[in-house]
Structures are given as structure tokens and as C-alpha cells.
């Protein structure tokens, strides 16, 4: 998780305070309908205790961040993030909508405006509040299986009906060692009876200690032809402060060794050939390759070595921007599997229409994309980072069946 400067944090707190001042101004108008003074006083005190408490907590956490145990730091940051989002967005909508209604109060009579406008204003604030709570406490771990069939001209005959499962972006630190949650995902995956299981990066948030106890969970995953993985941007420890380069290297080595313990083959700019009778396909995996400010550890030409004579190739590459930059129309890779974006953990998908704010940063951010005869699939991720919730963007298990054209 990236750290922000004190100036940025102070600016955020000022914005929070301004929105709360405006919210309180309109709250005074609404509470005029309440006749009991003590009830009004309790509402006002609760409002400002929460506001001041939240802002002080953010500032104190920022100032003391470097001294906090990393195991507690992630939990504190995500908790404050959730509180901030669930408070700020409903209040902002409340201020905007009730301001517009009062500005246009000529639509209502004076009597109507005393009742209708406050009710609409309150609804506009409470509705997003409860939606956000739903995203935090209900949909965050409601795993969804996305089922897709793709047809390829190059797919060898003996691989007809190849069953692939893709998972991505576990960010295990966010689960806080609640193994039973991921156990449910493992059970769903095993029920899909996969030939191959692919994991496309971001196993942890930052640290190898996040992996404690998870071997028993992921060892349960089974696939007939093997399990393969690549690293994501969070797996390199680039977002943490280390006492030395040796400590950072040891962290990365420990993450790599974890894959050996759970019987996954970690592909580091390399390829493996899978045979079925007389036919072959190639599975390629690159280290993380992203557009700046993300590092480019990936080396696709190196990964392609040894597979030039294999007509059908599948590439695992964490960041989907790699596909348009180095893969499509520049290689013969038929299918690329990525993750990274999480679909921003916010959006919607209705039939053939989908939207998320992340689309303004990433051209390819969730689901299946095609350019001529080359495909990219972007998994929405299983875990979370930053905001501890998912709104319209449930954690995803991708199930693909490959067929010949």
C-alpha cells in the first residue's frame, strides 16, 4: 500500500471537515422538526464526536505510522479507510442533493419543503451509507464464478475442452488469518474440476509474514495438469520501508518459497511446455510489467525462449497494460491472463455493459477482450486493498473452457 505525505493527509482532513460543516448546516435545518431539545443535543454531539475523532485518528496514524507494528498497521489503515469512505461519500451526496433541492424549492410549497426536502436529503445520505456497509460486510467475500468459453483456431485437437481456472490478487494480509473465508473459495475452485489453475499475482500486500498458516489452505487446490503463478507488483516489497536491501530480498525469497510449499510453479520470465499425447501447448509467465510508476521486472522475450515452435501459448502477466504494450500484434500468444485492477472494487456489470471508475486509467480492466485472434482476460481479484469492501464488483473466480474453432 502506498504511503502519502503529511501535506496530502492534512488536505484530506480539511476536505472531510468542510463537508462535515456543510452537512451540519443542513442537519440544523432538518432537526428543526424535532421538538425535544435533548434529542437534538445528542445528535449534534454524536455528529461532532465522530467527525473530530475520525480526523484526529487519521492524523495520529499518519504521524505514528513508522512506529506501528506492520501487523497492526494494515488493519488500522484499512479500518480507517472504510470509516472514511462510509462517512464521506454519504455526507457529500447529502450536501449536494439537499442543496439542490433547497435551491429549487419553488417546486414545493412552503409546507411541503419542510417535510419533503429533509426526507429526500436524509434518504440521499442514508442510502449510500447502507450500500457501502453492504459492500464491506456482505459482498466483500461473496465469491462469484465467471464462466467463459473461448474458441481458438490454433488450439491443438488433444486439448479440446481444456478447463482453466484463474484467480488473482489475493492480498492475504487483508484476510487477517481468517483461513475459513478462503477455504470457501478453494472448495468452489476444486468443484470446477480444472485441468490447470493459474494465479496471476499479488499474493500479499507487502510482507512474507502475511503467509503464515496459509499453506494448508492452498495445498488443497487440485488440477490435473498443474498449478502456475506469477508475481504481482505488491509481491516485491516496493511499497514498504526496509532496514536494508538484504531484508527486502529475504522477504521476496520467502514469498517465492511459499509457492513451492503449495505446489505451484512460479514462472519468472520463463515458460513450460505441457504435452497431451502428441500435442503441446506453452504456458508463459512474466514478472510484473506495468506502466510507470509501476516497475517493469517482466522480460517477455526471455519468457518466449523455448516455445517458439509451440503454436498455442497462454501468458500469465499481472498487469493488463502489458497486453497492449508488448503482446497483442507483437507476438503469437493466443491468450493472456491478468489481474491487478480489482475493477477498482466498485462498478457494475449488466449483460454486455460494464462500468467502473478504473476504466479511465486502464483500457482493459475487467473481463474478456479480443483483438483479431488474440484474447486478454482480466480477473477482478479475490482479495482487496485499501477500501475493505466491494460494490458491484464481487471477488472473482474465473472458469474458462477452451474449444477449437
Q: Is the Cα dihedral 193, 337, 229, 360 positive or negative?
A: negative
Q: For residues 333 and 326, what is the distance between their CA atoms, to the nearest angstrom?
A: 10
Q: For residues 403 and 230, what is the distance between their CA atoms, to the nearest angstrom?
A: 25
Quick check: 379 and 317 in contact, CB under 8 A? no
- Whether residue 112 is predicted with pLDDT greater than 70 in this model: the reply is no
What is the pLDDT, as a whole number, of residue 35?
Answer: 83
Cα dihedral 263→268→270→271 (10° resolution): 30
What is the pLDDT, as a whole number, of residue 109?
Answer: 59
- Whether residue 1 is predicted with pLDDT greater than 50 in this model: the reply is no
> Which CA distances in Å does 224 have to 127, 145, 193, 294, 303?
47, 20, 8, 34, 23
Which tops the pLDDT comparison, 174 or 105? 174
Three-state secondary structure call for residue 256 = helix
Give the β-pairing of 367-371 and 353-355: unpaired
Q: Among all chains, which residue has been given the C-alpha cell 464462466?
A: 147
Residue 306, φ and ψ in degrees, nearest 5? 90, -5
- Determine what percent of the chain is predicted with pLDDT higher than 70: 95
Range among 82-96, 101-115, 165-179 with highest mean pLDDT value: 165-179
Quick check: 266 and 229 in contact, CB under 8 A? yes
| pTM given for the model | 0.89
C-alpha cell at 82: 472504510
What is the pLDDT, as a whole number, of residue 98?
Answer: 78
Q: Determine the angle formed by the axes of helices 37-64 and 6-30, rounding to 10 degrees.
A: 170
- Give per-residue pLDDT as tens, 276-322: 999 999 999 999 999 988 999 999 999 999 898 999 999 999 999 99
What is the pLDDT, as a whole number, of residue 68?
Answer: 77
- Give per-residue pLDDT as tens, 190-229: 999 999 999 999 999 999 999 999 999 999 999 999 999 9
Q: For the chain, which domains are there?
A: 6-137 (no CATH), 142-404 (3.60.21)
> Which CA distances in Å does 396 have to 16, 75, 165, 231, 358?
33, 23, 11, 18, 17
> Which CA distances in Å does 259 have to 5, 24, 123, 201, 217?
35, 52, 49, 11, 12
> Average model confidence (pLDDT) for the chain?
92
- Whether residue 107 is predicted with pLDDT greater than 60 in this model: the reply is no
- Give per-residue pLDDT as tens, 11-46: 999 999 999 999 998 888 778 778 899 998 999 999
Average pLDDT over residues 57-65: 89
- Give per-residue pLDDT as tens, 335-358: 999 999 999 999 988 888 899 999
Q: Where are the alpha helices (DSSP H) in 305-361?
A: 321-322
Q: What is the CA radius of gyration of the chain?
A: 25
Which tops the pLDDT comparison, 47 or 120? 47
Give the β-pairing of 270-276 and 279-285: antiparallel
Q: What is the largest CA-CA distance in the chain?
A: 84
- Give per-residue pLDDT as tens, 139-149: 999 999 999 99
Q: For residues 169 and 249, what is the distance between their CA atoms, to the nearest angstrom?
A: 21
Q: Determine the Cα angle at 228 with ends 224 and 232, to 5°.
A: 155
- Whether residue 111 is predicted with pLDDT greater than 70 in this model: the reply is no
Helix (H) or strand (E) holding 403: strand 396-404
- Give per-residue pLDDT as tens, 392-405: 999 999 999 999 99
Confidence label for 76 from pLDDT (cuts 50, 70 and 90): confident
- Whether residue 133 is predicted with pLDDT greater than 70 in this model: the reply is yes
Amino acid at each position: 500500500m502506498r504511503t502519502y505525505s503529511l501535506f496530502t493527509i492534512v488536505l484530506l482532513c480539511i476536505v472531510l471537515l468542510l463537508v462535515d460543516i456543510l452537512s451540519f448546516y443542513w442537519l440544523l435545518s432538518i432537526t428543526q422538526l424535532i421538538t425535544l431539545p435533548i434529542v437534538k443535543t445528542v445528535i449534534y454531539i454524536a455528529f461532532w464526536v465522530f467527525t473530530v475523532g475520525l480526523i484526529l485518528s487519521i492524523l495520529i496514524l499518519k504521524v505514528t505510522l513508522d512506529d506501528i507494528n506492520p501487523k497492526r498497521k494494515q488493519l488500522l489503515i484499512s479500518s480507517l479507510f472504510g470509516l472514511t469512505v462510509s462517512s464521506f461519500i454519504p455526507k457529500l451526496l447529502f450536501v449536494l442533493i439537499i442543496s439542490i433541492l433547497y435551491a429549487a424549492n419553488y417546486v414545493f410549497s412552503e409546507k411541503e419543503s419542510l417535510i419533503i426536502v429533509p426526507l429526500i436529503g436524509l434518504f440521499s445520505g442514508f442510502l449510500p451509507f447502507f450500500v457501502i456497509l453492504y459492500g464491506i460486510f456482505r459482498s466483500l467475500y461473496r465469491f462469484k464464478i465467471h464462466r467463459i468459453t473461448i474458441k481458438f483456431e490454433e488450439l491443438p485437437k488433444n486439448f479440446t475442452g481444456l478447463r482453466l481456472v484463474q484467480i488473482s490478487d489475493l492480498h492475504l494480509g487483508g484476510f487477517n488469518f481468517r483461513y475459513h473465508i478462503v477455504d470457501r473459495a478453494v472448495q468452489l475452485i476444486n468443484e470446477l474440476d480444472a485441468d490447470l489453475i493459474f494465479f496471476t499475482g499479488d499474493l500479499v500486500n507487502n510482507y512474507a509474514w502475511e503467509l503464515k498458516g496459509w499453506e494448508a489452505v492452498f495445498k488443497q487446490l487440485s488440477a490435473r495438469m498443474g498449478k502456475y503463478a506469477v508475481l504481482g507488483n505488491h509481491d516485491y516489497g516496493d511499497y514498504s520501508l526496509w532496514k536494508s536491501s538484504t531484508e527486502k530480498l529475504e522477504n521476496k525469497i520467502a514469498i517465492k518459497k511459499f509457492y513451492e510449499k503449495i505446489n505451484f510453479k512460479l514462472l519468472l520470465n520463463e515458460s513450460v511446455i505441457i504435452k497431451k499425447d502428441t500435442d503441446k501447448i506453452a504456458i508463459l509467465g512474466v514478472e510484473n510489467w506495468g506502466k510507470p510508476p509501476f516497475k517493469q521486472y517482466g522480460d517477455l522475450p526471455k519468457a518466449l525462449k523455448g516455445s517458439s515452435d509451440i503454436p498455442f501459448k497462454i501468458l500469465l502477466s499481472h498487469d493488463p497494460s502489458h497486453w497492449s504494450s508488448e503482446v497483442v500484434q507483437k507476438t503469437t500468444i493466443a491468450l493472456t491472463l491478468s489481474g491487478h485492477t480489482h475493477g477498482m472494487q466498485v462498478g457494475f456489470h449488466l449483460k454486455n455493459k460494464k462500468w467502473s471508475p478504473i476504466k479511465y486509467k486502464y483500457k482493459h480492466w475487467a473481463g474478456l477482450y479480443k483483438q483479431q485472434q488474440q484474447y486478454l482476460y482480466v480477473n477482478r481479484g479475490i482479495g482487496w486493498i485499501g477500501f475493505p469492501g466491494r460494490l458491484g464488483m464481487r471477488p472473482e473466480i474465473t472458469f474458462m473452457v477452451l474449444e477449437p474453432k
